[in-house]
Amino acid sequence: LKTPVRTAACQHVFCRKCFLTAMRESGIHCPLCRGNVTRRERACPERALDLENIMRKFSGSCRCCAKQIKFYRMRHHYKSCKKYQDEYGVSSIIPHFQISQDSVGNSNRSETSTSDNTETYQENTSSSGHPTFKCPLCQESNFTRQRLLDHCNSNHLFQIVPVTCPICVSLPWGDPSQITRNFVSHLNQRHQFDYGEFVNLQLDEETQYQTAVEESFQVNI
């Protein structure tokens, strides 16, 4: 589970992102038992902090290599476990190409590494002030986010090759081990806007979520 949340009525637990996605699809029902979910829960589900503590305290076996891993680190392990990647059909080898930003993994990163990645994101910019990227499908470089989107839709629309998204990696919370199966589809779904215009790149994703929740309580409806 990633950022586990729990429904109040039926006490079922889900990853926060999965739960919010299900709420957008089903409206008012628990994804597991179809029980009622309050309007407040649909917008801001309650964190299952007890379960988070358990996940940080106890370990389990990787389903493929049998290595003992803390439960909260299991997702990160699966991204680097060759036996897991081979078993479930995802290459564990990241394609070798240069990206325009240096990055480190998201899990347990230090404040220094997050800051360094943010500075790199901001420094590696075009004359228009936007970060630039290299296309992982043809290696052509110096694309802004919008130009990369247009380039891939024009030249690689039907090219489905597992690669690492240079835009995702450039973000402070980016994970360089994350493989994107359909890069062009990913661009169209996730990168229709520049993150720097909407979020504070000095903060990690969870901190921004908490800040947004706190600020929402200050709004008079």
Per the structure, the complete domain to which residue 68 belongs is given by: 59-89
pLDDT value for 44: 87
Same domain, 39 and 66: no
- The answer, yes or no, to whether residue 202 has pLDDT greater than 70, is no
Which residues, 6+ apart, have CB-to-CB distance to 60 below 8 Å? 68, 69, 71, 74
148 belongs to a structural domain: yes
pLDDT at 165: 93
- Which tens digits make up the pLDDT trace of 15-53? 888 888 888 876 788 888 888 888 888 888 899 999 888
Same domain, 212 and 194: yes
In a domain, 104, yes or no: no
137 in the same domain as 201 = yes
Residue 37, φ and ψ in degrees, nearest 5: -125, 130
Question: What DSSP line would sit under 46-115, residue for residue?
Answer: EE-HHHHHHHHH-EEE-TTT--EEEGGGHHHHHHH-HHHHHHTT--SSPP----SS----STT--HHHHH
Q: What is the pLDDT of residues 63-111, one digit of tens each?
A: 888 889 888 888 888 888 888 877 765 544 444 333 333 333 333 444 4
Mark whether 204 and 145 lie in a shared domain: yes
Lowest average pLDDT, out of 62-66, 123-127, 163-167, 211-215, goes to 123-127
Considering the domain architecture, whether residues 152 and 209 belong to the same structural domain is answered as yes
The 3-class SS string of 105-163 reads CCCCCCHHHHHHHHHHHHHCECCCCCEEECCCCCCCCCEEHHHHHHHHHHHCCCCCCCE
Q: How many domains does the chain divide into?
A: 3
- Whether 68 and 11 share a structural domain: no
Reading the block at residue 90, the tokens are: 């995802």
Q: Give CA separation, 13 vs 3, 50, 207, in Å.
A: 10, 11, 22
- Which CATH number covers residue 46? 3.30.40.10
pTM of the model: 0.40
- Please report whether residue 21 resides in a domain: yes
Whether residue 157 is contained in a domain is answered as yes
Terminal Cα distance for the chain, rounded: 33
Same structural domain for residues 45 and 64? no
